[in-house]
Amino acid sequence: MAAIRPASLADVPALVALENRSFAGDRVSARSFRHLVRRRSAAILVEEEAGTVRGYALLLFRRGSRIARLYSFAVGHEHRGQGLAKALLAAAEGLAGERGARAMRLELRQDNAAALALYRKLGYAVFGSASGYYEDGMDAVRMEKPLLPVPGAGKMLLRENCS
């Protein structure tokens, strides 16, 4: 049975392994994951099934801001096409809404056509770009989605069957 839940320190090795399989550069380190798991200004959600972390969403929050930032998001290649990304992103948006965010922003590589299509399909719109954003010099596309206030939306974190 699949579940989406908050990450713990015990998840850090699995998060790092997923990060390394998912990204060629600009990776979140084990040290950063450990730090962010403990921070009130961050939230990491993991999707797991049978003890295997199949995806994660890393959110950042700034005091006084109504905008949450999806800092990093990954779903294992072998688990794509199962609705996992959509469920994980919905849980992240719900959590952001519970914490007072009225919008979610993210950056993604300009050459990541699959992610761009997914985010557009899920209601994100391009609002800008950042040149040379990634360590290899690739530009970033900046996207945003308004979030509707939904009381209790973050409670979906412990729901089952995310596919």
Count of domains observed in the chain: 1
5: amino acid identity, one letter: R
**35-81 residue pLDDT tens:** 999 999 999 999 998 888 999 999 999 988 999 999 999 998 777 77
Q: Give CA separation, 132 vs 39, 100, 106, 137, in Å.
A: 28, 31, 16, 4
Q: Which domain holds residue 145?
A: 2-158
CA 41 – CA 28 distance, rounded (Å): 16
Q: Does residue 163 lie in a domain region?
A: no
The one-letter amino acid at 156: M
Tens-digit pLDDT profile for residues 135-156: 888 899 999 999 976 555 444 4
85 within some domain: yes
Q: Rounded to an integer, what distance in angstroms lies between the CA atom of residue 147 and that of residue 101?
A: 7
Which CATH number goes with the domain that contains 117?
Answer: 3.40.630.30
Supply the pLDDT for residue 77. 72
Q: Is residue 59 part of a domain?
A: yes
Q: Residue 163: pLDDT above 70?
A: no
Rounded to whole angstroms, the Cα distance separating 33 from 54 reads: 16
Contact assessment for residue 64 and residue 36, using Cβ atoms and an 8 Å cutoff:
no
Q: Is residue 99 part of a domain?
A: yes
Task: Provide the 3-class DSSP secondary structure of residue 116.
Answer: helix
